[in-house]
Structure 1
Amino acid sequence: MNKQSWAKTNKLFFICFLAIHCHCFAQIDTTFNKITIRYADYINLVGKNNLGYAAQKFNIDIADANIESAKVFPDPELGIGWFDNGQRRMNMGYGYSAQVGWLLELGGKRKARIDLAKSEKELIQLLLLDYFRNLRADATISFLTALQNKFLLDVLLNSYQTMYRLAQSDSIRFRSGAITQLDARQSRLEAQTMLNDVFQAEAEWKASLANLSLLLGQKQKDSLFIALGSFDGFERNFNLSDLITTAQNNRADLLAALQGKTVAQNLLKLAKANRVIDLGIATGIGYTSYVRNVIAPTPSFTPVTAGIAIPLKFSNNRSGELKAAYYNNLQAEIQYQQAEVQIQAEVTQAYFQYQATRKQVQQFNNGLLDESRAVLDGKIYSYQRGETSLLEVLNAQRTYNDTQLAYYQILFNNAAALVELERAAGIWDINF
């Protein structure tokens, strides 16, 4: 290769590296508005602004309205009538009447309706608590995901910058004849490959930030919340038996299942009350005009009437409503037992998962990261002195990258496992 070709090749390498470097940081340093937020503020805003949770709260108002409806007495009925005997030639006269009727509910129907509506409200309140329990845990995991994705982006970006600097150095060393053109090209290709990984990690990070805005019920088009925090503060010591007992006492969904039994019992009481015969009470007044007929003249008179009506409840021969309420009561009992078993299984599984992730974190904390970093630094130093090959440097770089990525994945898994364990146990002390 002549001197002119060497010069053109070197110039081309410099232009490529400069373009890669500028393009990378033009992409990473985006222009969107960044609103930094810490976990405590974030979870507080989720409770206040989450749209799904806000919609669920209206169920309480609906339940209150249903209680008011259950208290209503049957409406009275007003009847007005007029008659004309139609015998004008014989002067038979005319008349009118007015009547008020009212249904008297027997068997405690009104009380049964009110008790059912009140028990349904208590059930809805417990379901709302359970909704927030899951919302809080899901929002926390979303926040942890945003943190993790930022750490992963930093790892890949730092790896790219290291390889970029190595590629720059290789370009200079190639010009001086210290390495071959193949090695210089290889380091450049590795830098470009890492740059693609950076772009992908950046997209995943921004997607997780957009999910934070979704949970916060925000509509900003040009702003994203940036999660601030670390994976410290997720170390806990638990006793499995105590956790199961706590969950069975505190879990809102189990309390809701228990309240579901009460609702089913009240529904059965209402079904029985509906089979009791009601009474219709009526009173009225009428007026009949003077009959001027010469055969049977009759003076005008005003009759007053009162009476009762007893419905013939042939429908009681069909006990479908009563049977449905009875079986619903049995179903609620089985569902409560199933909820108890389910909660015990969830707590047990979450406990063992958390214990496993704690051991994995301890494994990394025993110096695994430091060792992989020391190996990489040593390989780069040896390569720059010509004592080792580029392939060994690349292998060490990949090992270090994989170790860092695995480390942050384990930290995230450990934090998420604690969140799931406390979700399952019905406790909450997460703060980081």
Structure 2
Amino acid sequence: MMKYCYTKLLFVFLLWLISTKTFSQVDTSFRQKKIKFSDYLSLVGKNNLSYIAQKFNVNIAEAGLETAKIFPDPQLDFGWFDNGQRRMNMGYGFNSGISWTLELGGKRKARIDLAKSETELNKFLLQDYFRNLRANATLDYLAALQNRLLLEVTLNSYKSMNDLAKSDSIRSKLGAITKVDAKQSKLEAGTMLNNVFLMEAQWKASLANLSQQLGARQTDSLFAPLGDFSGFNRNFSLTELILTAKNNRADLLAALQNKYVSQNLIKLAKANRVMDLALGTGITYASYDRNIIAPTPSFTQINAGISIPLKFSNNHPGELKAAYYNSLQIEVQYQQIELQIQNEVKQAYYHYSSAQKQVQQFHTGLLDEAKAILDGKTYSYQRGEINLLEVLIAQRTYNEVQQNYYQTLYNYSAALVELERAAGIWDINF
């Protein structure tokens, strides 16, 4: 009896020692910064480099508005002349003048209206960019959560199989099972360890995506998300979602604003066909002419005038035609975007409803049943009632059920993100 107790204690100690040594192979040395979803999304809006770059489009458009307000610059002319007959004392002189283009037809107002509409268009485009950035950043956050859970599943499965393999190694030495069974369980444990390393790499890669979304440049640490997949259950009406999308989607508002831009382009093209006037005034001074034949005293001459261009270019209204056809094109594009949004909402709604049903299916006890079967098979194997193959089948089934469960939870949460992206709403927080 005492010998049996010593053997059992030795078995437990060896199992713990080998298991600890094996798990030390998993890299957990990097520094993790835990971050909540609300804090993460707030930092994305502040630090995402692509979003910051997009904001400059609004600044550029506002600078264009300032440019549109500028009046034409006046032109100042200076000249000097010498009659070139020094022997005959014909004299010399100089002239100066200033001219300015007077724009007619409301060109300046048309330019300002166009620049204003383009500024508003860029603001809507920026809103739409953030709509997609927010959804994509959330999907990256959810993917990191999913990969962490899948790593835990793989790690736990490996732990169970590794414990079983070490147990079989000792049992084989004691003659309780054959060496083939011990080698088989050790082989399965090694295969699972490779899967652990693979899932570990995928998890770290998803954490690196979070750092990119946050504009973080640290190389010695990664952001690790907090939270789970609860809180994604919603009830929606498809009709209300489509109506909300048509009212809220920034890309549709941008398409509508683009119609105003095209109308202002037509107004500017029409204004450009109106001729402008050039107003000018100047002064000319001629020195005293000492020529003995026709001596002339010095004099100063003041002049003013109007220059009227001949708009022969109006016979070729290419700019006006291009603006007109551009307006027609944008009108069709607006209708296409409106139809596309309606289709996106429908598809996202159907995917979300399907994912919702799949999650409910797992809540009927599939996980508990798979775990109970695995525990039962493992217990029977340890008592010598079944072979190792039945345990491996039960282990793989349990792994697949867990992986499918977490994949379904991710699909469910991702479907909600896509649905709210399509509808132009946002209430996700977990």
Amino acid in structure 1 at the alignment position of 2:416 = L
Q: Is the 8 A contact 1:95 1:289 kept in 2?
A: yes
Aligned to 2:109: 111
2:300 is paired with a residue whose SS is: coil
CA–CA separation in structure 2 for the residues paired with 1:26 and 1:289:
102
Aligned to 2:132: 134
> Within the alignment, does 1:144 sit opposite 2:127 as a pair?
no
CA shift digits 1:246-284 (9 cap, x unpaired): 000000000000000011111111111111000000000
Does the C-alpha gap of structure 1 residues 214 and 19 become closer, same or farther in structure 2, counting only changes over 3 Å? farther
Q: Is the 8 A contact 2:252 2:337 kept in 1?
A: yes
CA–CA separation in structure 2 for the residues paired with 1:187 and 1:295:
128
> Within the alignment, does 1:246 sit opposite 2:216 as a pair?
no
Matches within 5 A, 1:25-40: 25-40=23-38
Aligned counterpart for 2:368 among listed residues 370, 386, 397:
370
Runs ≥4 residues deviating over 4 A: 16-20
Tell me the CA shift for residue 202 of structure 1. Answer: 0.3
Q: Is the 8 A contact 1:20 1:192 kept in 2?
A: no
Aligned to 2:167: 169
Structure 1: runs of 5+ lacking an equivalent: 1-12
Does the C-alpha gap of structure 1 residues 20 and 295 become closer, same or farther in structure 2, counting only changes over 3 Å? farther
Matches within 5 A, 1:30-429: 30-429=28-427
1:27 is paired with a residue whose SS is: coil
Q: Is the 8 A contact 1:357 1:413 kept in 2?
A: yes
CA–CA separation in structure 2 for the residues paired with 1:88 and 1:392:
122
CA–CA separation in structure 2 for the residues paired with 1:23 and 1:339:
59
Amino acid in structure 2 at the alignment position of 1:248 = K
Once the two structures are overlaid, the 10-residue window that deviates more, 103-112 or 178-187, is: 178-187
Q: Is the 8 A contact 1:17 1:164 kept in 2?
A: no
1:303 is paired with a residue whose SS is: strand
Does the C-alpha gap of structure 1 residues 99 and 149 become closer, same or farther in structure 2, counting only changes over 3 Å? same
Tell me the CA shift for residue 26 of structure 1. Answer: 2.2
Q: Is the 8 A contact 2:207 2:223 kept in 1?
A: yes
CA–CA separation in structure 2 for the residues paired with 1:344 and 1:430:
22
CA shift digits 1:308-362 (9 cap, x unpaired): 0011111112211111111111111011000000000000000000000000000
Amino acid in structure 2 at the alignment position of 1:282 = G
Number of positions where the alignment pairs a residue of Structure 1 with one of Structure 2? 420
Q: Is the 8 A contact 1:60 1:125 kept in 2?
A: yes
Tell me the CA shift for residue 22 of structure 1. Answer: 4.9
Tell me the CA shift for residue 60 of structure 1. Answer: 1.3
Tell me the CA shift for residue 24 of structure 1. Answer: 3.9
1:277 is paired with a residue whose SS is: coil
Tell me the CA shift for residue 20 of structure 1. Answer: 7.0
Amino acid in structure 1 at the alignment position of 2:84 = G
Aligned-residue sequence identity (percent) comes to: 68
2:223 is paired with a residue whose SS is: strand
Tell me the CA shift for residue 295 of structure 1. Answer: 2.1
CA–CA separation in structure 2 for the residues paired with 1:66 and 1:19:
71
Tell me the CA shift for residue 89 of structure 1. Answer: 2.2
CA–CA separation in structure 2 for the residues paired with 1:265 and 1:60:
20
Q: Is the 8 A contact 2:19 2:163 kept in 1?
A: no
Once the two structures are overlaid, the 10-residue window that deviates more, 83-92 or 298-307, is: 83-92
Amino acid in structure 1 at the alignment position of 2:322 = A
CA–CA separation in structure 2 for the residues paired with 1:145 and 1:355:
20
Q: Is the 8 A contact 1:24 1:195 kept in 2?
A: no
2:306 is paired with a residue whose SS is: strand
Tell me the CA shift for residue 23 of structure 1. Answer: 5.6
Q: Is the 8 A contact 2:15 2:163 kept in 1?
A: no
Amino acid in structure 2 at the alignment position of 1:422 = E
Tell me the CA shift for residue 289 of structure 1. Answer: 1.3
CA–CA separation in structure 2 for the residues paired with 1:19 and 1:277:
93
**TM-score with structure 2 length normalisation?**
0.95
Once the two structures are overlaid, the 10-residue window that deviates more, 167-176 or 320-329, is: 167-176
Tell me the CA shift for residue 404 of structure 1. Answer: 0.1
CA shift digits 1:29-51 (9 cap, x unpaired): 42111111111111111000000
1:34 is paired with a residue whose SS is: strand
2:24 is paired with a residue whose SS is: helix
CA–CA separation in structure 1 for the residues paired with 2:380 and 2:285:
120
CA–CA separation in structure 1 for the residues paired with 2:33 and 2:47:
16
1:98 is paired with a residue whose SS is: strand
Q: Is the 8 A contact 2:15 2:167 kept in 1?
A: no
CA–CA separation in structure 1 for the residues paired with 2:326 and 2:184:
71
Q: Is the 8 A contact 1:56 1:128 kept in 2?
A: yes
2:25 is paired with a residue whose SS is: helix
Q: Is the 8 A contact 2:72 2:100 kept in 1?
A: yes
CA shift digits 1:408-432 (9 cap, x unpaired): 0000000000000000000000111
CA–CA separation in structure 2 for the residues paired with 1:258 and 1:75:
35
CA–CA separation in structure 2 for the residues paired with 1:25 and 1:164:
10
Once the two structures are overlaid, the 10-residue window that deviates more, 316-325 or 142-151, is: 316-325
Q: Is the 8 A contact 1:234 1:415 kept in 2?
A: yes
